[in-house]
A and B are shown apart, each in its own frame.
Chain A
């Protein structure tokens, strides 16, 4: 019997159309738009000015706090302007816009494909390298990785969990990375184990990626302390708390950090970025993005420079079909519809999903029939119908008591609702309002 998390979960159609497409490196864009708020936490402070010539890998914005990251240029050329541009939300955010010229990399970056397995760096030096390289969680949440490696005093990590679940339908970027860069991921895992001071690491992979599981089982023999854990397919297994439950059987208490149960979770993409940062001196300037959709002619996995426009990715994957209703950044469950295809790829863009007119619209909302399915599928054990009602009635204190802040926004409730009720939209508003309420008390 394969492991999985206990409470709730759903089984959306997998639609992994690009699973057998190997990673292609996409050419540089003509103009790169690099946002300065690509992560959770304080926006970074811009270091460059208009007209300055910069090279690939150069630091262009500096971390402005503990929960913040450095941002590096992904291209070489001249800074055309520093301006506000629409990001995924449609709101204007500050960005550095670079006119690309040539492909001049910093000399310190090792661009060869050669595998380096041994590092002489100690734990502190590895964490510093990660901090310097501006690495954030590449699964989509974009939480700065160095923060995870420095647990609050009194807490000690016991196990490092590598998230290779990729439970979102359609997305295959992590899957391809595990197949093509397996050994690098294992080295990266060793580095993170050293940084955290743990003896054990578990790579959690869902059973629908049996080739990746096999790959790691063969390669892993050389790397003691790293286990592979095959998991039963269930959404949202890639959620941090769900993965910890599935792998270790431990439940993260409400409001606590995963390290409270001794676990630290990192995505495989992040681990690969850690490998490149520590061994190759390469900051986080590229990421793997799946460009997919049922109507798209050439679903692909691309290695993309951060700051490339989404339009370039779609064009490379066969162009935008005529009957497109929505373009989603991320997967179909948790992704966000883009306001325009000109928004740039950021550190958190795990996929671009094109939805046709047939798929891309909301269905008519009907009344709640009290079937309780949303309660049954909630992986956090919440009562989504109640949270929605409390949010509609603006009863924030009650919503807080009903643990609205524990919601991981996986969307299982909205997915399963037979009346198509927009449960998650209201719960998100509840989280936002309760969050403001909690902050106002401080």
Chain B
């Protein structure tokens, strides 16, 4: 009895020691040096694995930073400048300062602004609908309303509003990873510079048709009249292909363009309600400028 017990212990121990030796030798022979900074950089990143930086995930981004040993054109939109500064500290480099961005949907073609003229009953995704048709309305540039952008958002930051049929961005949740920008077959979503209190002024239209047909298809279409371009003191507005574009890096949120737009294609968001305008607005505006 005791003999068999002894044998068992001996054999198991012998196997254990032999395995340990093999493992030790293998580990030595096949040792791959990995920069310890990769792990530290990865730890500093937010672990969202959203791909907003342009790499397959946080690990791949960390590897690329360490491998290239530079922070040029490398930015984590989720973590922002704070995280990039931490990464820079680990790497002993200086991070580029990027203004935080947020997504906006450049279409305001709600049911009353843009009446439906056709009926699509195929597969209910934007990608397939856009491949087959210009959409259910006469505007072939606008939102299709099947919500591909909401499906791809990892941060629960964009939702379809059932009453307007358009997606709406939750500014507090949006990290500007750009997943929705890639998902939209109509290129309607744009990442714009985040302004204080999430204030936004943008052209909610991508219609490049001439004024007449554009206005006929949708009452709030940009007709490329260039009134806003003339009104803007900061050269933030440019007109190309019958469509206005407001550069968020130059815009000072003066809202003059909103007032002159004849079709109300320029939208202001998160500003105080119009009644308090003369009192409430001027002070912070002056401070920002």
Contact = CB atoms under 8 A, between A and B. Distances in A.
Interface of A: 84, 86, 89-92, 336, 339-340, 361-362, 422, 425-426, 428-429, 432
A426 B117 contact: no
Indicate the member of A336, A428, A429 with the most B CB atoms within 10 Å.
A429
Contact of A425 (B118, B123, B134): B123
A422 B122 contact: yes
Given A90-B134, A92-B209, A362-B122, A340 B117 contact: yes
Contact of A432 (B117, B122, B131, B138): B131
Interface string B78-119: 000000000000000000000000000000000000000110
Given A86-B140, A92-B140, 19 more contacts: A89-B132, A89-B133, A90-B118, A90-B133, A92-B209, A336-B132, A339-B117, A339-B133, A340-B118, A361-B121, A362-B121, A425-B122, A425-B128, A426-B123, A426-B128, A428-B128, A428-B132, A429-B127, A429-B128
B145 interface: no
A428 B131 contact: yes
A91 B140 contact: yes
A174 to B, nearest CB: 26
Contacts of A339: 117-118, 133-134
Interface of B: 117-118, 121-123, 127-128, 131-135, 138, 140, 209
Contacts of B118: 90, 339-340
Contacts of A92: 134, 140, 209
Contacts of B122: 362, 422, 425
A336 B117 CA distance: 17
Nearest to A388: B123
Given A339-B118, A426-B123, A90 B135 contact: yes
A136 to B, nearest CB: 22
A90 B129 CA distance: 11
The 7 closest A-B pairs by CB, nearest first: A90-B134, A90-B133, A425-B123, A91-B134, A422-B123, A91-B140, A425-B128
A362 B131 CA distance: 18
B51 to A, nearest CB: 13
Contacts of A362: 121-122
Contacts of B138: 86
A422 B131 CA distance: 14
Contact of A84 (B121, B133, B135, B209): B209
Contacts of B127: 429
Indicate the member of B123, B127, B132 with the most A CB atoms within 10 Å.
B123
Indicate the member of A86, A339, A422, A426 with the most B CB atoms within 10 Å.
A339
Contacts of B209: 84, 92
28 contacts: A84-B209, A86-B138, A86-B140, A89-B134, A90-B118, A90-B133, A90-B134, A90-B135, A90-B140, A91-B134, A91-B140, A92-B134, A92-B140, A92-B209, A336-B132, A339-B133, A339-B134, A361-B121, A362-B122, A422-B122, A422-B123, A422-B128, A426-B128, A428-B131, A428-B132, A429-B127, A429-B128, A432-B131
Contacts of B135: 90
Nearest to B183: A394
B259 to A, nearest CB: 31
Indicate the member of A89, A90, A340, A428 with the most B CB atoms within 10 Å.
A90
Contacts of A340: 117-118
A248 to B, nearest CB: 34
Contacts of B133: 89-90, 339
Contacts of A429: 127-128, 131
A194 to B, nearest CB: 41
A429 B125 CA distance: 11
A84 B212 CA distance: 12
Contacts of A428: 128, 131-132
A392 to B, nearest CB: 9
Indicate the member of A92, A426, A432 with the most B CB atoms within 10 Å.
A92
A340 B117 CA distance: 9
A86 B139 CA distance: 10
A428 B138 CA distance: 24
A361 B134 CA distance: 19
Indicate the member of B122, B138, B140 with the most A CB atoms within 10 Å.
B140
B214 to A, nearest CB: 10
A425 B126 CA distance: 12
A335 to B, nearest CB: 12
Contacts of B131: 428-429, 432
A89 to B, nearest CB: 6
A87 B229 CA distance: 33
